[in-house]
Amino acid sequence: MSVGFASADRDKAAPLLPVLGKAAAALWILGASLLAVVAALASAEGRQSFAAESAPDDLAAEVARLVMQLDDDSYEVRQHAAAQCEALLAHPQLHELLARHFHRAALRPDLSLEVHRRLRLWLRGLPRPSEPPDKATAEQVQLLLAQLDAPSAGARAAAEYHLLYLVTDPQRAQAVLAAVKRRLADPQLGLDAMRQLEALWEQSRRAILLGESTDIVPPTVSDRQLRFWVEELARPVSSRSSREELLRRANAEREILDLLLCDSEVPRVRQALEWGLSRAEPAAAADLRRLLELTAPALVAECWQGRRHVGEQHLLVGVPSQAETATKPSHFDRIDEHTAHCVSGNNLEPGEYPVHVAFPHPKTEGAFFHLVNLPTPRRRMAYKYLVQMDEGIRLAEISRRTFQRILAEKRPLSEAELVMLPQLDPEELSRFAGPYFAAVDDSPLPAVGLVRLGGRPSRHGMICVCLAEEGTKTAVPGLLAAAERNRFLAPKPEAPYRLHWVALLAIARRDPWPDCDAWLASQVGNAQLLVEDGRRPAVELGATAGALLLRRHGQPVGAYGLEAVEDSLLEQLGVEGFRFVSPEGRQQVQQWWQRQLRSFSVP
């Protein structure tokens, strides 16, 4: 894709400078240049070939020039540059390039606060810039913290952005955390500065706690220093406490919390807290008890319904918890990364339950529980940030772990688990289905039970119902392989539908895969019935596939001898059933498809 334009446009504008003036000429150049970019991106060639990392130099230079126009002296130039940025942001192909240039500009202390606010707003909707990470030395962090007090609002904004960018990386966040705590200990710190630094401390801890690595270098803290912090928290607090006393208390708590980030330090901190509690007055012991309780192993029982996290209960391992409205205490006496043992519960019966995966709610069909093991203070503190993540992302992670464990166990799913599947992530279910069909034989549900979609279908059939409702093209290879290997039970009176074909047809209509048309065409000659219940007229697989193929190409199905057959279940699953009114109709569809193939091959 060629977008060479900058020098030519400036040459055209040069004679206009005396007439238009500097500001208007700049607008003219900018508008003409970026119109060329947008036009190039709008073309099919541009959409297919453009990549931000291989952007032409003139395009990158023009974007850099555009960013500088955001801080021009002329209001008209600034507004026009902002409008052009908005136009470029509408093109996903440019997002990495824009993120890189906007990020670099957001680090500049010489730009105005107006520009920094615009850049921050735009950067929120862009991918994280692929810049080489800063080392975040102690000296660099100290300079940035000092810059937060700079006279220029733009310089202060740049420092804040730079620090927030540093703490997105767990390793760099540790350097920022240490420096921020030193700054927070300053008794001369103003209220606004304190709030800003406390936010940085919080963001640093978030990055460290949610980071994949658990290798946190513990700060060098002597037993004497640790006891000093504990003693600060053991002092009584009253309305007569000075600001310096409250500040020392807050800093002591921060230091202890950060020491608890390191699993190796937990026994020492617990011992110091127990020592402090033995010396503290009851009225002053609440904070020490709270911190000591944080060192105890715990778990969270989450309840999910409608793909939403709707409730949770925090429990200490080995400690019964009796809620006011509960008839029994909730009590788990043991938990590890795989199983938890319930002694007593209001929804769960005593017994073993899986951990970190979904399992059916015993009283609410479709809902599920998710037990989270929190054996250390670090894990307990991380949970606070974990639940702030997007629920869709969390659900996908829970679903992935659940399906991985089921595959590892290679066992038939219970009816309760099958009913739970629509509550899990559809893409993860689509990825799981094929390997599960290959690894576990199909089997019927118990003869007695509730009527499900399709009657009392087989276990694989119930999975296919979920795929028909919300499955994606990811499920198609596994479905096709399972159908070819006859991994699905044959229809029977209480389960008359061939639900694997129904799932494939539903996905073909809703989320077609690349060779979907070829598969539909290959099924036109298939005389199998989608429903084996003796009804006439019957719904035919080949006719239904042929009708879908014709409609995908804008062809009238009636012209090919196809007639719709009503079926409430198929309609509910997004499939309109058909039959051929005569054998000639099947041949007509096949002949039409051959003509289509020949037309596709014409250069």
379-397 pLDDT, tens digit per residue, is 999 999 999 999 999 999 9
Query: Of 103-107, 174-178, 353-357, 576-580, which gets the smallest average pLDDT?
Result: 174-178
Angle between helices 75-89 and 113-123 (to 10 degrees): 10
Average pLDDT, the chain: 87
Provide the pLDDT for residue 570.
95
Share of the chain above pLDDT 70, in %: 88
* Alpha-carbon distance values, 416 to 291, 313, 358, 362, 429 (Å): 40, 22, 12, 8, 16
Provide the pLDDT for residue 336.
96
**29 and 21 Cβ atoms separated by less than 8 Å:** no
The model's confidence at residue 57, banded by pLDDT at 50, 70 and 90, is low
Give tens-digit pLDDT for 276-321: 999 888 877 889 999 999 999 999 999 999 999 999 999 999 999 9
As a whole number of angstroms, the distance between CA 127 and CA 315 comes to 38
The model's confidence at residue 14, banded by pLDDT at 50, 70 and 90, is very low
The model's confidence at residue 473, banded by pLDDT at 50, 70 and 90, is very high
Give tens-digit pLDDT for 555-573: 999 999 999 999 999 999 9
Give tens-digit pLDDT for 316-346: 999 999 888 888 999 999 999 999 999 999 9
As a whole number of angstroms, the distance between CA 575 and CA 506 comes to 6
What lies within 8 Å, CB to CB, of 9 at 6+ separation is 29, 32, 33, 36
| pLDDT at 243 exceeding the cut of 90 | no
**292 and 312 Cβ atoms separated by less than 8 Å:** no
The model's confidence at residue 30, banded by pLDDT at 50, 70 and 90, is very low
Provide the pLDDT for residue 532.
92
Provide the pLDDT for residue 56.
55
As a whole number of angstroms, the distance between CA 118 and CA 506 comes to 45
Give tens-digit pLDDT for 443-454: 999 888 788 888
Provide the pLDDT for residue 133.
57
Q: Summarize the confidence of residues 57-81 as an average pLDDT.
A: 88
| pLDDT at 442 exceeding the cut of 90 | yes
Give tens-digit pLDDT for 269-288: 999 999 999 988 887 788 99
* Alpha-carbon distance values, 361 to 25, 207, 367, 387, 549 (Å): 68, 33, 5, 20, 41
Angle between helices 113-123 and 95-106 (to 10 degrees): 150
Question: Cis peptide leading into 457, omega within 30 of 0?
Answer: no
Q: Summarize the confidence of residues 573-584 as an average pLDDT.
A: 93
Cα-Cα end-to-end distance for the chain: 23
Give tens-digit pLDDT for 220-234: 889 999 999 999 998
| pLDDT at 52 exceeding the cut of 70 | no
Provide the pLDDT for residue 131.
66
Give tens-digit pLDDT for 131-162: 665 667 888 899 999 999 999 999 999 999 99
Distance of CA 433 to the CA centre of its chain: 21
Provide the pLDDT for residue 12.
46
| pLDDT at 28 exceeding the cut of 60 | no
| pLDDT at 535 exceeding the cut of 90 | no
Domain locations in the chain as residue ranges: 6-123, 298-388, 514-603
| pLDDT at 128 exceeding the cut of 90 | no
| pLDDT at 171 exceeding the cut of 90 | no
Provide the pLDDT for residue 602.
54
**Which helix (H) or strand (E) covers residue 20, if one does?**
helix 17-20
Provide the pLDDT for residue 40.
52
Provide the pLDDT for residue 132.
61
The model's confidence at residue 64, banded by pLDDT at 50, 70 and 90, is confident
